[in-house]
Amino acid sequence: MTCYAIGLLHDVRMGADIVTYLEGIDATLAPFGGRFLIHGGPCEVLEGSGGSDLIVIAFPDRAAARSWYGSPAYQALLPLRRCNARGEVFLIDGVEEGHQATDILRAGQKAAPPQRCAEAGAGRR
């Protein structure tokens, strides 16, 4: 199943280190089948504050994504980004073709206790 490396980066300081990072990252992805799907760019914020750079890299599976992140080639570049941006980076698996939102209810996902928020109730009138 496709696995995605997601980065939500804030306060990226463009400079020589980030340029070196950007010039080197593609070569670190290739051996693991990684490819950029989203790499920053303008976004239309519909909710929340925005102001971050979203990066999405697809890998054939989680093992490939973990291997890329832990590879010596990527680990050598990583300090260049960490010293010039802050943010969150995580791996998450995609869903199967035809997935519907209610599939998680049947998949044994731990359900949260029932709660209603004022905003959700307002939309049902």
Residue-range definition of the domain harbouring residue 78? 3-99
pLDDT digits (tens, 9 = 90+) for 3-37: 999 999 988 989 999 999 999 999 999 999 999 99
Domain membership of residue 111 (yes or no) is no
- Largest alpha-carbon pair distance within the chain? 57
Domain membership of residue 109 (yes or no) is no
User: Cβ distance 32 to 68 under 8 Å?
Assistant: yes
Domain membership of residue 81 (yes or no) is yes
Domain membership of residue 115 (yes or no) is no
Domain membership of residue 116 (yes or no) is no
CA distance 18 to 27: 15
Domain membership of residue 83 (yes or no) is yes
Domain membership of residue 76 (yes or no) is yes
Which tokens hold the place of 98? 């035809």
CA distance 88 to 72: 21
CA distance 107 to 105: 6
pTM: 0.82
User: Which amino acid does the sequence have at 86?
Assistant: R
Domain membership of residue 90 (yes or no) is yes
Percent of the chain with pLDDT over 90: 64
The number of distinct structural domains making up the chain is 1
Kindly report the average pLDDT of the chain as a whole number. 89
For the residues 88-114, what does the mean pLDDT come to? 83
CATH number of the domain to which 76 belongs: 3.30.70.100
